[in-house]
């Protein structure tokens, strides 16, 4: 009697095993076919054995766009501007690091290197604050005439009468600008790191280096968001001047007026000091709401995220109650934890950029392309 259940169990286990193995095999096969399908869909550099020399048209447009960006005066001027501010803030950072006050306080000493990007002696804002301000300008400058200038120059109808899909143009413009931006910020971060290394003589730890890379990626995404807004306006508006102005207006509103507006409204609705003393927890609630509202501005998301990434001691982006802080040791967080804290910010930025791109895609695909 006792044997049968054992047998039954063994056979059922075997059955489960074989079915599981089959499942895995099927899933593997599905994955393989899906991957093959995806790879087939991707624009390829070569197309068949006969045309090995010819680049895929998509990459032809990308490389042309990149060359256009790099040659353009607009880009060179912005590059000079950003490089200048970068070195300016590096200089002030070094000044402030030189004073003994900055070193050793708040447990930041072990992340000495990161202070190059965040510290300031008060004469100039820090590197990250500068980027928060100038990054959007770069994005807007690279995208505001992406489509409408082609339309006005009469090159769009010529381009689209070539055998390429219509979305290649939009995708290629976006990718090319992102690649240029990524290259620029990677170079800038590395140059700053190198200069800092020369001056202070302490090499960054691997954790610091990872944080710097994450910071670069974040900056690229942030600028990418503004790039996509600008591209959207360049599809919607026929005049480059209109789209540039609109993009700048959105930028000004979100960076300057939106926070003021939110704070004004919050002030009107905030509980007065008497009730504040009585209902402690609800204040933190209203504070949180204000912060959440502020985070609709991409600049706020960016500054939250950079703060967390470059100041490892920051462990929360909202207000903390005394209970939460009690017993916490003011130790820096590991890289992974910091990234988990900024994950919502990162996702928000990517989502906003994608939404803008989707909108411009939608209006571009159905657009009638008339010659001038």
Partner 1 sequence: MNEPMIRITALGKRYGELKAVDNLDLTIDKGEVFGLLGPNGAGKSTTILMLLGLTEPSQGAVRVCGFDPTRQPLEVKKRVGYLPDDVGFYDDRSGLENLLFTAQLNRIPKAEALRRAAQLLDQVGLTADAQKRAGAYSRGMRQRLGLADVLIKNPPIIILDEPTLGIDPQGVREFLDLIVRLSKEQGITVLLSSHHLHQVQQVCDRVGLFVAGRLIADGNIDALSTKLFALEPFMVEAGVSTLDQHDIDSLTELFRQIPEVRSVSHTGEIFRIACTRDQTSAVARTVVTHGYSLNLLQKKRYGLDEIYHRYFENGGTYGKTA
**50 vs 274, which CB is nearer to partner 1?**
50
What's the min distance (Å) between Cβ of 65 and partner 1?
11
Output 55 or 295, the one with its CB closest to partner 1.
Answer: 55
- Taking the complex as a whole, the smallest distance from the CB of residue 154 to partner 1 amounts, in Å, to 3
Q: Kindly identify the residues of this chain, within the stretch 151-210, that bind partner 1 according to CB under 8 A.
A: 153-166
Quote the least distance from Cβ 60 to partner 1, whole Å.
Answer: 4
Q: In whole angstroms, how close is the CB of 161 to partner 1 at the nearest point?
A: 4
The one among 54, 187, 261, 351 contacting partner 1 by CB under 8 A: 54
Q: Which is nearer to partner 1, 104 or 154 (CB)?
A: 154
Rounded least distance, CB 233 to partner 1, Å: 21
- Residue 295 CB contacts under 8 Å (≥ 6 apart), including other chains: 301, 304, 345, 348
Give whichever of 171 and 303 is closer to partner 1, judged by the CB atom.
171
Tell me which residue has tokens 């800092």: 196
Among 17, 32, 64, 362, binds partner 1 (CB under 8 A): 64
Q: Which stretch binds partner 1 (CB under 8 A): 25-33, 50-58, 190-198, 353-361?
A: 50-58
**Which positions from 95 to 134 touch partner 1 by CB under 8 A, shown as an x/- string?**
----------------------------------------
Indicate whether 60 belongs to the interface with partner 1 (CB under 8 A): yes
Name the one range near partner 1 by CB under 8 A: 54-62, 140-148, 176-184, 350-358.
54-62
71 binds partner 1 (CB under 8 A): yes
Residue 371 lies near partner 1 (rule: CB under 8 A): yes
What residues line the site for partner 1 (CB under 8 A)?
47, 51, 53-57, 60-61, 64, 68, 71, 153-166, 368-372
């Amino acid at each position: 009697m006792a044997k049968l259940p054992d047998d039954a169990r063994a056979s059922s286990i075997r059955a489960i095993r074989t079915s599981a193995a089959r499942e895995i095999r099927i899933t593997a096969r599905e994955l393989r076919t899906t991957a093959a399908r995806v790879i087939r869909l991707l624009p390829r550099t070569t197309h068949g054995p006969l045309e090995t020399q010819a680049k895929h048209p998509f990459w032809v447009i990308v490389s042309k766009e990149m060359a256009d960006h790099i040659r353009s005066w607009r880009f060179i001027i912005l590059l000079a501007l950003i490089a200048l501010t970068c070195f300016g803030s590096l200089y002030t950072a070094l000044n402030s690091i030189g004073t003994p006050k900055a070193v050793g306080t708040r447990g930041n000493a072990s992340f000495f290197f990161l202070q190059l990007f965040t510290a300031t002696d008060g004469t100039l804002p820090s590197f990250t604050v500068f980027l928060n301000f100038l990054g959007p300008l770069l994005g807007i400058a690279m995208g505001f005439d992406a489509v409408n200038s082609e339309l006005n120059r009469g090159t769009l109808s010529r381009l689209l009468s070539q055998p390429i899909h219509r979305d290649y143009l939009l995708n290629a413009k976006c990718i090319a600008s992102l690649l240029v931006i990524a290259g620029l910020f990677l170079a800038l971060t590395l140059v700053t790191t190198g200069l800092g290394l020369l001056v202070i003589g302490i090499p960054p730890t691997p954790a610091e280096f990872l944080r710097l890379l994450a910071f670069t990626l974040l900056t690229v995404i942030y600028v990418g968001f503004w790039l996509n807004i600008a591209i959207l306006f360049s599809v919607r508006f026929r005049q480059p001047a209109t789209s540039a102005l609109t993009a700048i207006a959105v930028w000004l509103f979100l960076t300057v007026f939106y926070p003021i507006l939110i704070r004004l409204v919050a002030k009107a609705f905030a509980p007065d000091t008497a009730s504040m003393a009585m209902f402690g927890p609800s204040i933190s609630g209203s504070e949180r709401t204000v912060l959440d509202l502020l985070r609709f501005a991409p600049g706020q998301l960016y500054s939250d995220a950079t703060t967390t990434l470059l100041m490892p001691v920051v462990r929360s982006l909202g207000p903390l109650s005394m209970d939460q802080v009690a017993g916490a040791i003011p130790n820096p967080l590991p890289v992974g934890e910091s990234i988990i804290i900024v994950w919502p910010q990162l996702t928000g930025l990517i989502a906003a950029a994608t939404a803008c791109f989707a909108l411009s895609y939608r209006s571009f695909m159905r657009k009638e392309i008339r010659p001038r």
